[in-house]
Amino acid sequence: MSRKTKGCIGILTGGGDVPGLNPAIRAITIRAVREGYQVIGIRRGWAGLVDMVPDKNFDNSSNYIQLNEELVNRIARTGGTFLHSSRTNPAKVPLDRIPEHFKDKYTDEKNDVTEDILKNLDFLKIDYLIPIGGDDTLSYAVRLHKEGVKLIAIPKTMDNDVPGTDYCIGFSTCITRVIEMTHDLRTTAGSHERFLMIEVFGRYAGYTALIPTMAGAANRCVIPEHKFDIEQLTELLIEDRNKTPSRYSVCLISEGAMFKGGEMIFESSEADQFGHKKLGGIGDIISVQVKNLSIKYEKRTVNVISQRLGYLVRCGNPDAIDSIVPMAFGNLALNLILEGVTGRMVNLRNGRYDNVPINVVTSFKKVVDVNKYYNTERLRPFYKSFDAKPLFLMTSDY
């Protein structure tokens, strides 16, 4: 591929889709092109680099695409990622996912193909790489940084759990949808005098359940950071229900929430390339147990509406914040490249845009500080003051 005067920038999106990815791609591309760079979009996250054949005569159109202003302007207002995504981990590619042209080279059950990732980046003549993703996607970016790849990372995840930043692309739209849908479901819960149990995303971090509850969407929430007692939850929901004229109460449940003495609930034993099994079902299990226990506190059994919001909160168009922040993050990334600075992740910290060393991504787990923000006696958000707090209240301490 021909090179622009200043070089070539590659962009990829990995992990789950969220609203705000396309605006980020647009912001990077337009700024980069106007600064004199060529821009390549790598398809399907790290998978595009794994599957690529470094041969100019091979059709790699399913692995990368050249980006320009006209193309990205058409997609910027939409959700998801037009570059597509995957949960591919080039450091641990299963044997059955090894591309045909590498079958003789990689024969282990799990294979580290980083050597060929580096060759493919060189084949594309990429000078700077901008991966947009969560802690899994960016953990491999840390690996490439250590291998000498010049990159700037952009944090994205609806769970808001990437270390080193107070905000990740996708979080605002997610919690906006959770709040809206929970309020919509109240009409049914109130009509039938039931408990409303809503399961939301959140494997290790409970922000997507805690913040909407803090905003008044629910009476109680259970989060991965604190193993809860089902009798305590039932008694609190009965208390809430009896205080409400329409005799219903609402609980938000993180998909990674755990019973006291128990572990996470998985749909199957199959794990992705980052070792994560698919979560789901805790909301239904809690609903059954709360219903069965309700007669202990009432004269009759209280029925339950159990709803898993799932992909409804990550699909569709971005809200205002997830349209503005990706634009800013994309421009911040270009600023760093123009300054000759790499190995960083752009971030939002205490209401200000900034950047941190990319190694922060693998330095600790970003989860809810239970002592500061979660009342374990009342199973709901706990806070003393909003003074000097960021927009979504909880900072990423590092």
104-142: b or e for each residue (b if 16 or more CB lie within 10 Å)?
Answer: eebeeeebebbebbbebbebbebbbbbbbbbbbbbbbbb
The answer to whether the beta carbons of residues 393 and 160 sit under 8 Å apart is no
The answer to whether the beta carbons of residues 117 and 49 sit under 8 Å apart is yes
List the one residue out of 149, 171, 137 whose CA is nearest residue 15.
Answer: 137
* Burial of residue 324 (number of CB atoms within 10 Å: 0-12, 13-18, 19+): middle
Q: How far apart are CA 105 and CA 113, in angstroms?
A: 10
159 in catalytic set: yes
Catalytic residue among 51, 159, 166, 322: 159
- How many C-beta neighbours within 10 Å does residue 184 have? 9
The answer to whether the beta carbons of residues 43 and 162 sit under 8 Å apart is no
Tokens of 36: 């004199």
Enumerate the H helices of the chain as residue ranges: 21-34, 46-51, 69-75, 114-123, 135-146, 171-192, 207-214, 230-243, 282-294, 321-338, 370-373
In Å, how far are 170, 276, 304, 308 from 279, measured between CA atoms?
20, 9, 21, 12
Q: How far apart are CA 2 and CA 4, in angstroms?
A: 7
Q: How far apart are CA 315 and CA 309, in angstroms?
A: 11
Rounded to the nearest 5°, which phi and psi values hold at 395?
Answer: -90, 170
Q: How far apart are CA 366 and CA 160, in angstroms?
A: 8
The answer to whether the beta carbons of residues 123 and 54 sit under 8 Å apart is yes
End-to-end CA distance of the chain: 41
Catalytic sites, residue numbers: 159
